[in-house]
Amino acid sequence: MDFSLDDGWQIHPLGGNTGTAYMGFKEQEKLFIKRNTSPFLAALSLEEITPRLVWTKHISTGDTLTAQEWLNGRCLSKEEMGQENVARLLARIHRSKILRKMLRQVGGRYVFPEEILSNYFRGLSLELRAHPLLKKVANRLRTHQPKLDHREFKVSHGDLNHKNWLLSDNNRLYLVDWESARLADSALDISMLMCQYVPRAEWKQWLTEKYGVSITIGLRQRISWYYMVNLLLSIKNEHQRGHFFEMNRDILRLADFFENQDFI
């Protein structure tokens, strides 16, 4: 996409899947520029969840550009994702009434368990639909959906991949790429992160000592539900992409968890 900025700023594409991220540079100054990002970014910047928002501009193409401070740093490794700084930042996001209010004001939508489960069945191959274990798990999830008043839903990032966590050179942690932000059960984010990065034997410690929550029966049940639905969605995605080794690995993980759900 071709566009220009005033006052001598130059634009360099940063690549990525969406092609919407750029580095803006002028002499010794740098900015991280993104096209058509969520209006929720302003609130995230004020709460210091993301790097500082410098400006927002509408350009002649009808697109909106946002510029954030350019921070030197790196993404977290998979091994670092179980650390306390990650859990604490996620907990601060989930407990922020300001972020919840702002996301609602900019049209953030509610995501309910039934919608997530429906996404699994939508376009599901006949092979996976007939798989005995997957069928049994999906039926269990359908009849035991979490019950939580939507007024208790929190801001949910929706894509807690380790590449979306930025550790700056001054050791400040940020969570970026908020295009999937929604209002949902906080257990959805928690289970997504733990499913990918925290060994099951460490779940209790991660929840109580790092994230800082009391473990109730209801929370255990909701985490279990989201954990299994996340695995189903991963299995479906891996099957569609032809990643059969990873698919079978996740089927084994699902089988083990389904038979031994008393994890904490």
Whether residues 45 and 124 fall in one domain: no
Domain stops at, among 52, 70, 88: 70
Do 64 and 83 lie in a common domain?
A: no
| Same structural domain, 128 and 178 | yes
pLDDT at 61 over 80: no
> Does a structural domain hold residue 4?
no
Four-residue CA torsion sign, 123, 129, 135, 137: negative
- CATH for 197: 3.90.1200.10
CB 183 within 8 Å of CB 109: yes
Q: Is the pLDDT of residue 1 over 50?
A: no
- Would 5 be classed as within a structural domain? no
- Residue pair 16/22 in contact (Cβ under 8 Å)? The answer is no
> How high is the pLDDT of residue 39?
83
What pLDDT shows up at residue 29?
81
Q: Which of 18, 53, 70 is the last residue of a domain?
A: 70
42: containing domain: 10-70
pLDDT digits (tens, 9 = 90+) for 164-221: 999 999 999 999 989 889 999 999 999 999 988 999 899 999 999 999 999 999 999 9
* Number of compact structural domains in the chain: 2
| Cα separations in angstroms, 234 against 26, 82, 201 | 42, 20, 21
Quick check: is 3 in a domain?
no
Same domain for 58 and 84, yes or no, is: no
Confirm whether 14 is domain-assigned: yes
- Half-sphere exposure of residue 44, counting CA atoms within 13 Å on the CB side? 27
Name the active-site residue from 6, 7, 63, 159: 159
Q: How far is CA 219 from CA 128, 163, 215, in A?
A: 29, 27, 6
The answer to whether 256 is a known catalytic residue is: no
> How many whole angstroms separate alpha carbon 250 and alpha carbon 78?
17
Same domain, 63 and 83: no
On whether the CB atoms of residues 110 and 182 are closer than 8 A, the answer is yes
